[in-house]
Amino acid sequence: MGPDGIPTAAIRQLPRRVMVVMTRLFNGILWTGHIPRNWKMGHVIAILKVGKDPRLAMSQRSITLLSHIAKLFERIALRRLHRHLTPRRGQFGFRSEHSTKLQLARVLQHMAAELNRGRRTIGVFLDIEKALD
């Protein structure tokens, strides 16, 4: 449970009229850009790592418990943003379920199709992993 004391189960069981009010609240936040201050606060708890010495700080893993209402708002806002920020079909970087291997397979498939049509095909591959270091 987060700092607001509202459990997830309570949010799931809210009546429709309360959800309508929450929708208006969320839309107002998106419109004004003002997020309630208490939504930015969390309770930090320490959890002991399995098999570690509880007296050592590095044996603890910290977890921050956040407001479930704030997390719901963030999820809705992210969903709305994704509708407008969908990258081009050919973009594979920084996208979930779009790996380098899949992009390489796509390029090779495109090259094979062009070769089958009797066209010349050239591939240029650059490793720029450390170019901006």
Task: Report d(CA 51, CA 109) in Å as an integer.
Answer: 49
Per-residue pLDDT reduced to its tens digit, 48-97: 999 999 999 889 999 999 999 999 999 999 888 887 776 677 777 777 77
What confidence score (pLDDT) does residue 132 get? 65
Nearest to 25 by CA among 15, 16, 34, 14: 34
What confidence score (pLDDT) does residue 1 get? 74
122, pLDDT greater than 90: no
103, pLDDT greater than 80: yes
2, pLDDT greater than 90: no
Q: Is residue 54 part of a domain?
A: yes
Same-domain pairing of 23 and 40: yes
* Domain ranges, residue 45: 8-84
Same-domain pairing of 42 and 21: yes
Same-domain pairing of 53 and 98: no
Q: Is residue 130 part of a domain?
A: no
What confidence score (pLDDT) does residue 21 get? 95
What confidence score (pLDDT) does residue 92 get? 72
Phi, psi of 83 (to 5 degrees): -60, -35
> For residues 48 and 60, is the Cβ–Cβ distance under 8 A?
yes
Same-domain pairing of 54 and 79: yes
Per-residue pLDDT reduced to its tens digit, 19-37: 999 999 999 999 999 999 9
Mean pLDDT, residues 7-19 taken together:
92
Q: How many domains does the chain have?
A: 2
What confidence score (pLDDT) does residue 133 get? 55
